[in-house]
């Protein structure tokens, strides 16, 4: 049996395509060509639109171009046929005519299908109905498509297919293409923004012996040669701080992080986080930096400073609010709390608000939990929430004038955490005490508590300069900029439960 036969099933549409393919092969025509013209000689639809903007309806340009792409529509009119061609820059119309191509080649062109990838050469013209068109003089089938594309008018709507077969989503939905274009622009602009300010991009380990820098459960893997378990990083933080010890003053990493936790509209097991460390700066410097960066990046990617979150319009150029966590609880939840309150009293308030209290929860944890539940969703306009409890901030510098709190803030936009930053804790003895506190939580069964990283403490003992650090969720920033409700809309290949058959394919 021909090996090409084994993978396509019985559907009639698929059989028709297979028959066309077989016919091409039997006639000695290669349905998968190696090359059309020199790639640099290919014109693109957006460039042609600009170049021939002045061409009038019905006019010929007298100039020859070559374009290549996927056939998206075919409109046949006897001796003339229109095709819509999609390339990476957009769409352009092709016109195939029998009197230009000759009878045989014109007949060949009618065997092309929607979905096929073709290269054509011809004269640029504008049709009577004012559509910029390539009047095809020669063409080649470059890749035969064996599967029908989704419907041309309604497109591809099924979210499951859009996520599982993103290539189809990209072919069919201009909106999807523009979201991922924006994502690329955002990441590019983040680099430019930081590079312009003297920051250096580095790459630190993804495989870590001790997964540190955040509170989360890690993925575990195994190194065979060393015969040790390693963890996929949950954050690059502790390595970037080692860079500060090593003498880097401004450093950042665009870090793919992995967290072995739930999947939701705001959580993907792997996600992209920017982390920035700035020596001799503190959290107030980081506030300025992150506000400027978010505003700059969104304007660059989107063209303006206006974003929309669940129907609410937000102008990033308007002043951002600043409020401490305790003040916010007073203002938005009418709760007057303090870190000196008895744990039992705070527990009672938490329980009244349907918060499940784990063993070992102290006042700081309870206050932060109440804040997250009662205040966060209300912070739609960009807001800096300042002064997080030390209990939930084991890597942040304590706040001198308010014991129990740290010099830490988060940026809330549209009710979601976009960034998290603090003045870094540089004191190795205090850091050890904080780690030991985390170990006590671990002993109580809280898996997400930080692990003690002895090598990191050693680095701190050599001396780390005072510094501000920042983490920013790149996926969430993209969601904000593009108005996407789900993180899956901004990740090219979001994680999905495998379908029946996917595993089998992998094992065979």
Site for RNA in 370-409 (CB under 7 A): 372-373
Strands 220-223 and 207-208 come out as unpaired
Kindly tell me which residue out of 21, 49, 161, 309 binds RNA, with binding defined by CB under 7 A: 161
Least distance (Å) between residue 195 CB and RNA: 25
DSSP letter for each residue of 468-504 = EEEEEEHHHHHHHHHT-SSGGGTSSS---PPPTTHHH
Interaction with RNA in 32-51: which residues (CB under 7 A)? none
Interface stretch with RNA, choices 157-165, 183-191, 192-200, 242-250 (CB under 7 A): 157-165
Task: Select 240 or 279, whichever has its Cβ closest to RNA.
Answer: 240
Does 216 contact RNA by CB under 7 A? yes
Question: At which residue do the structure tokens 């870090």 appear?
Answer: 255
The CA distances from residue 59 to 26, 53, 75, 326, 489, in Å, are 41, 12, 21, 70, 42
**Cβ nearer to RNA, comparing 164 with 197:** 164
Q: Strand, coil or helix: what is 102?
A: coil
Q: Is residue 415 close enough to count as binding RNA by CB under 7 A?
A: no
Q: How many residues does the chain have?
A: 508
3-state secondary structure of 75: strand
Cα separation, 244 vs 241, in Å, equals: 5
Give least dist CB 340 to RNA, A: 23
C-alpha neighbours within 13 Å on the C-beta side of residue 445: 2
What is the closest distance, in whole angstroms, from the C-beta atom of residue 178 to RNA in the complex?
19
In 30-102, alpha helices (H): 45-51, 98-101
Choices 21-29, 45-53, 142-150, 289-297 (CB under 7 A): range interacting with RNA: 142-150
> Contact between 175 and RNA (CB under 7 A)?
no
According to the binding rule CB under 7 A, does residue 505 interact with RNA?
no
SS3 283: helix
C-beta of 6 vs 99, nearer to RNA: 99
Please list the residues that pair with 278 across neighbouring strands: 250, 468
Q: What separation in angstroms does the CA of 223 have from each of 46, 161, 210, 212? A: 49, 35, 14, 19
**Residue in 286, 355, 366, 379 binding RNA, rule: CB under 7 A:** 355
For 310, the token pair is 């669940």
Candidates 35, 50, 128, 222; binder of RNA (CB under 7 A) is 128
Least separation, in Å, of the C-beta of 365 and RNA? 9
Q: Confirm or reject binding of residue 362 to RNA (CB under 7 A).
A: no
What ranges make up the beta strands (E) of 213-269?
Answer: 220-223, 228-232, 250-258
Stretch that binds RNA, among 175-183, 382-390, 437-445, 482-490 (CB under 7 A): 482-490
Q: Which is nearer to RNA, 96 or 252 (CB)?
A: 96
3-state class (DSSP) for residue 317: coil
Residues 319-348 that bind RNA (CB under 7 A): none
Which of 37-45, 193-201, 426-434, 470-478 is the region at the interface with RNA (rule: CB under 7 A)? 470-478
- Which residues are bridge partners to 32 per DSSP? 143
- Rule CB under 7 A: say whether 131 interacts with RNA: yes
Report if residue 127 touches RNA, rule: CB under 7 A: yes
Looking at 473, 477, 481, 490, which residue binds RNA (CB under 7 A)? 473
* Least Cβ distance, residue 243 to RNA (angstroms): 22
Shorter beta-carbon distance to RNA: residue 246 or 498:
498
Cα-trace Rg, the chain: 29
Residue 51, SS3? helix
Q: How far is the CB of 49 from RNA (least distance, A)?
A: 13
CA distance 485 to 203: 30
* Site size toward RNA, by CB under 7 A: 80
Tell me the closest approach of the beta carbon of residue 253 to RNA, in angstroms. Answer: 16
| Residues 188-207 close enough to bind RNA by CB under 7 A | none
**DSSP classification of residue 320:** P
Q: Which of residues 255-294 bind RNA (CB under 7 A)?
A: 259, 261-262, 264-269, 271
Q: Which is nearer to RNA, 35 or 129 (CB)?
A: 129
- Judged by beta carbon, residue 192 or residue 447, the one nearer RNA is 447
HEC per residue, 133-177: EEEEEEEEEEECCCCCCCCCCCCCCCHHHHHHCHHHHHHHCHHHH
The footprint of RNA on residues 484-503 (CB under 7 A) is 485-488, 496-497, 499-500
> Residues 429 to 448: which contact RNA by CB under 7 A?
448
User: What is the b/e burial string over 164-179, where b = at least 16 CB atoms within 10 angstroms of the residue's CB?
Assistant: bebebbebbbeebbeb
In the stretch 85-104, what mask flags binding to RNA with x, by CB under 7 A? --------x-x-xxx-----
């Amino acid at each position: 049996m021909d090996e090409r036969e084994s993978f396509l099933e019985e559907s009639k549409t698929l059989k028709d395509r297979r028959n066309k393919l077989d016919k091409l092969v039997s006639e000695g025509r290669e349905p998968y060509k190696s090359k059309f013209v020199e790639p640099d000689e290919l014109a693109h639809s957006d460039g042609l639109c600009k170049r021939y903007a002045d061409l009038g309806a019905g006019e010929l340009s007298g100039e020859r171009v070559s374009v290549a792409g996927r056939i998206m529509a075919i409109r046949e009119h006897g001796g003339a046929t229109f095709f819509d061609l999609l390339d990476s820059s957009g769409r352009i119309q092709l016109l195939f005519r029998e009197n230009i191509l000759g009878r045989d080649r014109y007949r060949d062109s009618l065997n092309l299908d929607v979905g096929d990838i073709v290269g054509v050469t011809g004269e640029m013209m504008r049709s009577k109905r004012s559509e910029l068109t390539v009047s095809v003089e020669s063409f080649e089938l470059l890749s035969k498509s064996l599967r029908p594309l989704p419907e041309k008018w309604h497109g591809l709507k099924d979210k499951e297919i859009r996520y599982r077969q993103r290539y189809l989503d990209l072919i069919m939905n201009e909106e999807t293409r523009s979201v991922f274009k924006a994502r690329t622009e955002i990441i590019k602009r983040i680099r430019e923004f930081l590079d312009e300010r003297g920051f250096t991009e580095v790459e630190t380990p993804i495989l870590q012996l001790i997964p540190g820098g955040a509170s989360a459960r890690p993925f575990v893997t195994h190194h065979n040669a060393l015969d040790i378990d390693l963890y996929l990083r949950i954050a690059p933080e502790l390595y970037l701080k080692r860079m500060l010890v090593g003498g880097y003053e401004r450093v950042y990493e665009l870090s793919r992080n992995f967290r072995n936790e739930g999947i939701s509209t705001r959580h993907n097991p792997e996600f992209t986080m920017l982390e920035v460390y700035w020596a001799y700066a503190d959290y107030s410097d980081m506030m300025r930096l992150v506000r400027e960066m978010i505003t700059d990046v969104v304007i660059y990617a989107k063209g303006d400073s206006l974003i929309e979150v669940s129907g609410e319009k937000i102008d990033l150029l308007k002043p951002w609010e600043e409020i401490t966590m305790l003040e916010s609880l007073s203002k938005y939840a009418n709760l007057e709390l303090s870190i000196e309150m008895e744990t039992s009293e705070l527990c009672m308030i938490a329980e009244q608000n349907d918060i499940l209290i784990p063993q070992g929860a102290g006042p700081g944890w309870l206050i932060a939990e109440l804040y997250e539940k009662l205040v966060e969703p209300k912070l739609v306009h960009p807001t800096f929430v300042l002064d997080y409890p030390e209990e939930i901030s084991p890597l942040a510098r304590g706040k001198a004038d308010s014991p129990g709190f740290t010099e830490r803030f988060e940026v809330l936009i549209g009710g979601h955490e976009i960034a998290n930053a603090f003045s870094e804790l540089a004191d190795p003895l205090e850091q050890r005490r904080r780690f030991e506190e985390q170990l006590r939580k671990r002993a109580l069964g809280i898996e997400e508590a930080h692990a003690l990283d002895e090598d990191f403490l050693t680095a701190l003992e050599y001396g780390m300069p005072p510094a501000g650090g920042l983490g920013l969720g790149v996926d969430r920033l993209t969601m904000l900029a593009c108005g996407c409700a789900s993180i899956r809309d901004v990740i090219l290949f979001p994680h999905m439960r495998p379908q029946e058959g996917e595993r089998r394919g992998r094992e065979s």
